[in-house]
Amino acid sequence: MMIFDRIGDFFGIVVSIAADPINLAILFGSVLLGIMFGAMPGLTSTLGVALLTALTYGMDTSLAMVCLLAIYVGGTYGGSYASILINIPGTAAAAATALDGYPLACKGEGGRAIGLTTTASAIGTSISMLFVVSISPIISHFALQFTSFEFFLLAFFGILISGTLTSPDLVIKGWIAGFLGLFLACVGRDLLQFYPRFTFGYTELDSGVEVVPVLIGAFGIPQIIQVLRDRFAIGETQKLQRIIPEIGMVIRNIPAIVRSALIGVGIGAVPGIGEDIAGWVSYGTAKNTARNPDDFGKGELKGVLASETANNACVGGAMIPLLNLGIPGSPPAAMLLGALMLHGVQPGPMITFEHPTFIMEVAAILLLASMAMFVSGMLLAKQVVKVLRIPTQIFMPIIGMLCIIGSYSLGLNIFNLYLMLPVGIICYFLTQMGYPIAPLVIGVILGPMADENLRRALMVSQGSFLPIFQRPVSLILFVIIVWTVVSQFEWFRNAKRAALQKILNRKGSCEATLEENESETP
């Protein structure tokens, strides 16, 4: 009965959001803006969410969420346009789509490929929405049992795993980026004793570094510099024919869609891991399980279907830890967390008590955004792809100005700009040297949570770390953290391999003895 009540409540919220024309106008406008952001190589959905956060500052929370989630969903989907039509992923999330999307466009099936990505993305988002609704209460209930040690370990795990999985070079660089983020989070008066840390006498730093300007700097400025320094140019666009929704293809591949969506949701739920990894993992799985894997990379529709379903399913997946634990599942979700904090909503286990309908609202917005994305994709794709003709040298300076006015408008503080620009330049150098930015951002966001909970936990235990080993959840988290760290070392991998070999050899010798015994018995 309770489940039916929840379903009833959910559709009630969907109708109430959809019934307001302002909500609908903002929903479609933001989705379209997101598609444009995603389609333009060099711009990302994270940057789109970051810039739109400034515009939503004055809106009420639910309208702001409509705006931000819609641009996130649209941006994740929009990346496929550039992947398919010019073989350059509009966003990292759509990189796997280019492998089969572009050959399809070259064969004159670009419209078919975009039709399929539109349908797959809408289905991926809708499936992930189901997980947000169904899993959130369980995680929230579970998280209520957490004490300060668990929250500290969870924040620490989020930073470590994000560093481990997003690093394009050495894993150690991902961890360094995470700790640099934690350092930035230390700046300002500490939350327990109000002692000024690393403020150098600047009163503007007393309240700590403002998260949103730091995020805008970290994601926006390196992008601008990279694109213009390396003279990035958009190639020739392939022709786009009639866009077909490919419903038949979708129905024939329901198991593959469900598998890709599950991959997307699962990867999205891991802290700090973005849509790009979901797309690649799903594409790899589809290729490995296909009857004809050699067709992948030559214009296989199933490849496009797998990556696009997964990267959009990641959006909902990223919402699960964000809403229930206050830990962002992806870089755009980190931006969303910043925006939520600006609106006075503190995500975490208490969210179901403080804002009882909030998770339902988020799920409803995701559903509506996926519908708006489907409609916009089907009707306006031909118009939207015209943005691919705009040279990067024109829109990047304008994005630069938007980053600056956006950072200023959040708090009306010029000091935010003094912070945003150096952070952006440092992040550019870090990116050039193979350090990922996502763990740094996650570190900035989770730093206060880690700091406060570590000290609070130690205060309760009077300086003892023993409770970590006495509580099952913290013990599991501790073991996972240790495993994550040591599994990166060569000696550990060698030892693991040797141990496995030993077990296999023993098993092999046992089987051989058994066979011998069997052959000896008359």
Partner 1 sequence: MMEKDKLRKADIFSGSLIALFGLWVVSQALKMPMKDSWGGVQNVWFVSPALFPLFVGAMITLLGAFLIRTALKAVGRAGLRDVLGWLASRELANYLRSAANLRFYAMLVLLFSYVFMAIPRVDFFACSVLFLMAFISMFYFDDDALLKKLFGCYLALTAGLLLFFIFGLPQTLEATLPYAGDWLTLACIGIYGLFTWRSIRSIPPLRKKYRLSLILAFAAPFSIGPIFKYFLLVPMPTEGLIVAAMDAIWYWDF
* φ, ψ of residue 188 in degrees (nearest 5): 115, 180
Our finding on whether 230 is near partner 1 (CB under 8 A) is yes
Our finding on whether 107 is near partner 1 (CB under 8 A) is no
Contact 35, 376 (CB under 8 A): yes
**What distances in angstroms separate CA 278 from CA 83, 265, 282, 387, 502, one per listed residue?**
16, 8, 6, 26, 34
CB of 232 to partner 1, least distance (A): 11
Give the residues across from 189 on adjacent strands: 196
Our finding on whether 231 is near partner 1 (CB under 8 A) is yes
Our finding on whether 43 is near partner 1 (CB under 8 A) is no
Candidate list 39, 123, 225, 273; residue touching partner 1; CB under 8 A: 225
CB of 509 to partner 1, least distance (A): 37
Contact 76, 38 (CB under 8 A): yes
**Residue 313 CB contacts under 8 Å (≥ 6 apart), including other chains:** 124, 125, 127, 128, 260, 261, 262, 263, 264, 265, 268, 278
| Rounded distance between C-alpha atoms, residue 424 and residue 213, angstroms | 10
Our finding on whether 232 is near partner 1 (CB under 8 A) is no
End-to-end CA distance of the chain: 65
Our finding on whether 454 is near partner 1 (CB under 8 A) is yes
Amino acid at 517: N
CA atoms 16, 18, 24, 26: torsion sign: positive
Our finding on whether 458 is near partner 1 (CB under 8 A) is yes
Q: Which is nearer to partner 1, 99 or 402 (CB)?
A: 402
Residues 374-433 that bind partner 1 (CB under 8 A): 391, 393-394, 396-398, 400-402, 404-405, 408-409, 412, 414, 417-418, 420-421, 425, 431-433
Our finding on whether 463 is near partner 1 (CB under 8 A) is yes
Buried b or exposed e, range 350-365, using 16+ CB within 10 angstroms: ebbeebeebbbbbbbb
CB of 433 to partner 1, least distance (A): 5
Buried b or exposed e, range 431-470, using 16+ CB within 10 angstroms: beeebbbbbbbbbbbbbbbbbbbbbbbbeebeeeeebbee
What is the per-residue binding string for partner 1 in 271-310, x denoting contact by CB under 8 A?
A: ----------------------------------------
Rounded (5°) CA angle 372-373-376: 80
CB of 463 to partner 1, least distance (A): 4
DSSP string across 423-466 = HHHHHHHHHHTT--SHHHHHHHHHHHHHHHHHHHHHHHTTT--T
Candidate list 24, 55, 350, 378; residue touching partner 1; CB under 8 A: 55
CB of 497 to partner 1, least distance (A): 20
CB of 17 to partner 1, least distance (A): 22
CB of 24 to partner 1, least distance (A): 19
CB of 211 to partner 1, least distance (A): 17
Residues 56-95 that bind partner 1 (CB under 8 A): 57-58
Our finding on whether 1 is near partner 1 (CB under 8 A) is no
Candidate list 241, 245, 258, 455; residue touching partner 1; CB under 8 A: 455
CB of 399 to partner 1, least distance (A): 10
Q: Which is nearer to partner 1, 213 or 268 (CB)?
A: 213
Check residue 236 and report its DSSP letter: P
Residue 132, both tokens: 């947000």
Instruction: Calculate helix-pair angle for 61-86, 21-39, nearest 10 degrees.
Output: 30
Q: Which is nearer to partner 1, 194 or 491 (CB)?
A: 194
Residue 511, both tokens: 């089987």
Our finding on whether 22 is near partner 1 (CB under 8 A) is no
520: enclosing H helix or E strand:
helix 490-520
Amino acid at 368: L
CB of 342 to partner 1, least distance (A): 13
What is the per-residue binding string for partner 1 in 172-211, x denoting contact by CB under 8 A?
A: xx-xx--xx-xx--x---x-xxxx-xx-------------
- The residues that touch partner 1, with contacts defined as CB under 8 A, are 54-55, 57-58, 168-170, 172-173, 175-176, 179-180, 182-183, 186, 190, 192-195, 197-198, 221, 224-225, 228-231, 391, 393-394, 396-398, 400-402, 404-405, 408-409, 412, 414, 417-418, 420-421, 425, 431-435, 450-451, 454-455, 458-459, 462-463
